[in-house]
Chains A and B, each alone.
Chain A
């Protein structure tokens, strides 16, 4: 059974950094891309980027370039999202999600991690 279990809620001050983790289980970790998606309160979904767990290659949405880093630890089947220079507009629920091999879709999602940025 596939599971993506994310780390708990975080409260950060503006200018700080946050690291969210996503532990995968129930499937071959290196066989599926993982994406990160965020959702600000009351707003829609925003795609942030994706990582290939095999080699660690990444693709980021341009607006996050320079502030975001997606990494993985294959030994523990865990993905990480690092976001720096936080602003109040980064307050959101952050999701990790697995990309289905065929058909192009995000078939399994983590439960979400609320990151609150407030002074």
Chain B
């Protein structure tokens, strides 16, 4: 089973700042099949990035994903108020399709 470790647990930032979220895998994620989701309170998760670096439909270009193998990064270039949420990574390279523990991006 691939264990995904997300860091930091909480990121305290202000609107307009840059957010850098990390997702580290215990073993290489096959074909870099790594997805990032955004979740707001009371809502289901929403895909932000899939395949490590492809933006999902409707996701603004301030969101970008990078990385390969075991190290992946989600970057939000300039935070907008609606970006404050919890972000999870999930791998689809092998079964079980594990999730990371999440990073909360909160208002500073």
Contacts and interface: CB of A to CB of B under 8 A. Distances in A.
Interface stretch (A8-16, A74-82, A83-91, A97-105): A97-105
Interface of chain B, main secondary structure: loop
Contact of A104 (B56, B88, B92): B92
Interface of B: 31, 33, 35, 37, 39, 44-47, 50-51, 54, 56, 88, 90, 92-93, 95-102
B71 to A, nearest CB: 18
A103 B97 contact: no
Given A59-B95, A103-B51, A105-B92, A110 B101 contact: no
Interface of A: 35, 37, 44-47, 49-50, 59, 61-62, 95, 97, 99-100, 103-107, 109-112
B102 A45 contact: yes
Nearest to A111: B44
A46 to B, nearest CB: 7
B11 to A, nearest CB: 16
B102 A106 contact: no
Contacts of B92: 99, 104-105
